[in-house]
Homo-oligomer: A and B are copies of this chain.
């Protein structure tokens, strides 16, 4: 088995297990069992568990933002792209096995003890925020709206994760529209 393939299999298993059960409750042996990648190979690819965790967060970040932008950019009109963010959140919340935001969860679990994890989480949130900023700017809306939309999105993710409902996405979308029409020129 190719080294790149083993790496992907390991990350697939890591993503499913870490996201579904939390990071500390998943052992390296669980990763081996779920991925079929031997411990020896796992430790060649990721010399310590923390590096596997960071790699999991990194790959998920890339994919998550790709999915978001692909969905949002189906709309040509920059004014429609902001509500589309919340529509995509609703789709995400409805997925099987949704358990909240992987980065918020990881931060709650390891933010205080793992610098690598904390850094990944901050980078992901910063990237999301700056994507929102670009949407706000492209729509000709005032910059301070960005932070407000960001808070609504974060609140929706947390609340959907805790309650298991998709409704926060619609609530946040509605609030976003009101904020836009209150502040758009």
A residues touching B (Cβ–Cβ < 8 Å)? 20-22, 24-25, 99-100, 104-113, 121-122, 125, 144, 147-148, 150-156, 158-159, 161-163, 167-168, 171-172, 174-175, 178-179, 181-183
Contacts and interface: CB of A to CB of B under 8 A. Distances in A.
Contact of A106 (B20, B108, B144): B108
A108 B121 CA distance: 13
Which secondary structure characterizes the binding site on chain A? helix
Q: How many copies does the complex hold?
A: 2
Contacts of A174: 144, 148
Contacts of A178: 148, 178-179, 182-183
B121 A162 contact: yes
Nearest to A159: B154
15 contacts: A21-B113, A99-B111, A100-B107, A104-B108, A105-B111, A107-B161, A109-B109, A111-B161, A121-B162, A125-B159, A148-B175, A150-B155, A154-B154, A154-B159, A155-B155
A151 B172 contact: yes
Given A112-B20, A162-B107, A168 B182 contact: no
A78 B98 CA distance: 38
B22 A110 contact: yes
Contacts of A104: 104, 108, 158, 162
A104 B150 CA distance: 17
Nearest to A25: B113
A109 B122 CA distance: 18
Nearest to A168: B151
